[in-house]
Amino acid sequence: MSLHILLIEDSPGDIRLTREAFRDSGSPINLHVVVDGVEAMAFLKREGAHTLAPRPDIILLDLSLPKIDGREVLARIKADDELKSIPTVVLSNSTVGVDVMMSYKLQANCYLAKPARLEEFLSVVKNIGDFWLTKAVLPQHDLPDQAADLDASGRT
Closest CA to 22 of 35, 10, 6, 34: 6
Which position has the higher pLDDT, 37 or 155? Answer: 37
pLDDT at 19: 92
User: Is 90 exceeded by the pLDDT of residue 144?
Assistant: no
Least confident piece of the model among 49-53, 54-58, 133-137: 133-137
Domains of the chain in start order, with CATH, are: 3-135 (3.40.50.2300)
Helix extents (H) in the chain: 12-25, 37-45, 70-79, 97-105, 118-130
User: Is 60 exceeded by the pLDDT of residue 130?
Assistant: yes
Residue 135: is it exposed, middle or buried by C-beta count within 10 angstroms (0-12/13-18/19+)? Answer: exposed
User: Is 70 exceeded by the pLDDT of residue 151?
Assistant: no
Give the chain's count of helices (H) and strands (E).
5, 5
